[in-house]
Amino acid sequence: MITGRDIRKKYIRNYPSAFCPGCGDGMVLNALSRAVENKDMNKDKITAVSGIGCAAWVPSPYWKVDTLHTTHGRAIPHALGVKVGNRELEVVVVAGDGDCAGIGGNHLIHAARSNLGITVLMINNGLYAMTGGQAGPTTDHGEVTLTTPFGNPAAGLDVAEVVKAAGGSHVARWTTYHMRELIKEIEHAFSTEGFSFIEILSQCPTRTGKKQGLSGVQMLEWYKENTSKDPESDKIFVGRLADETKPELSKDIYDQIRRCGGEPI
């Protein structure tokens, strides 16, 4: 049985944590590392790509694999270059909801449409935390944030449903309360050839918690009480939204090269 200490030694770079006390990002880093360990994957063949924001720090600098820390919202097209460049690599994107579904929303839709064989973990805390707690694409209607002092006049986006509609092979939603399920879901994402998208609802005690008078632990409790694995329930659905086998982009590109008589350089 591998211990937490073993996981830290093998997968986590030894830098002081930039995450606030009670943040969910460290939990995602833990889940990601454990999924790789459980699947006995060769971590030399993993490339983690991220953009800008708190969640982007999960792989870079903390995860001990090849990391590409890119521009705001552009992690997915950089990851596309890595995956199509060398499809032997397991490519993982970790992004916040603003990075992934706001500024990078178009890239997300098209990567799902083309069923690019990467895994995207979108850590959803409902706002732009690093810059002070401004409203994001996932902020609910009426919610008060730094830039919606009178309540959000726009509605929030259900990103997982969008990715499902766009055609990604594997789509799921969990929260940081559901660590065991999350680890299993990431393992399933690694087994999926096509596009895998896991939305992870995650607490931001600094930006949201302080406003609502909730600690990190109380926010986890909130996830427990307000989510359900039953799709018929009125609560937030957690579980798998899609799981289909479809043609994968980089495989098609490599197959076409071979059909044309070439061999990928």
Partner 1 sequence: MKGPGEYFMEGNEACAEAAMRAGLGLFAGYPITPASEIMNLLCKKLPETGGRFVQLEDEIASMATITGASWTGLKTMTATSGPGFSLMQENLGYAVMTETPCVLVNIQRAGPSTGQATKPGTGDVMQARFGSHGDYEIIALSPNSVQEMYDMTIRAFDLAERYRTPVLLMADAGVGHMREKVKVPDEVKIEGRREPEPGEKEFFHTDRPDHVPPMPKFGDGYELMVTGSTHKGDGTRDTAGYETQDKLVRRLNAKINDNRKDIEDWEEFNCQGADLVVVSYGSISRPARGAVKKAREEGLEVGFFRPKTLWPSPEERMKEIGMDSSVLLVELSLRGYRMEVERCVGVDGVTVYDRINSLPTIDMIYDKIKEVLM
Q: Which residues bind partner 1 (CB under 8 A)?
A: 15, 44-45, 47, 49, 60-61, 64-71, 74, 76-82, 84-86, 88-89, 106-107, 109-110, 253-254, 256-257, 259-265
CB of 106 to partner 1, least distance (A): 6
- Nearest CB to partner 1, comparing residues 77 and 205: 77
CB of 189 to partner 1, least distance (A): 19
- In order, the DSSP letters of 227-255 are EES-TTSSSEE-EEEEE-----HHHHHHH
CB of 53 to partner 1, least distance (A): 13
CB of 42 to partner 1, least distance (A): 9
CB of 24 to partner 1, least distance (A): 21
Residue 134 to residues 105, 145, 175, 190: CA-CA distances in angstroms? 17, 6, 21, 33
Please, which residues have CB within 8 angstroms of residue 170's CB and are 6 or more apart in sequence?
Answer: 188, 189, 192, 194, 195, 196, 197, 240, 242, 243, 244
Please, which residues have CB within 8 angstroms of residue 47's CB and are 6 or more apart in sequence?
Answer: 65, 66, 67, 68, 79, 82, 89, 90, 91, 92
Neighbours of 68 (CB within 10 A): 18
- Nearest CB to partner 1, comparing residues 214 and 253: 253
Q: DSSP code of 43? A: G
- Nearest CB to partner 1, comparing residues 110 and 211: 110
- Nearest CB to partner 1, comparing residues 232 and 263: 263
Asked if 60 and 227 touch (Cβ cutoff 8 Å), the reply is no
- Nearest CB to partner 1, comparing residues 66 and 221: 66
CB of 256 to partner 1, least distance (A): 6
Please, which residues have CB within 8 angstroms of residue 163's CB and are 6 or more apart in sequence?
Answer: 108, 109, 112, 171, 195, 197
CB of 35 to partner 1, least distance (A): 18
- Please tell me whether residue 90 adopts helix, strand or coil conformation: strand
Longest dimension (CA), the chain: 64
| Angstrom distance (rounded) from CA 80 to CA 91 | 9
- Nearest CB to partner 1, comparing residues 82 and 238: 82
- Nearest CB to partner 1, comparing residues 151 and 247: 247
Please, which residues have CB within 8 angstroms of residue 264's CB and are 6 or more apart in sequence?
Answer: 254, 257, 258
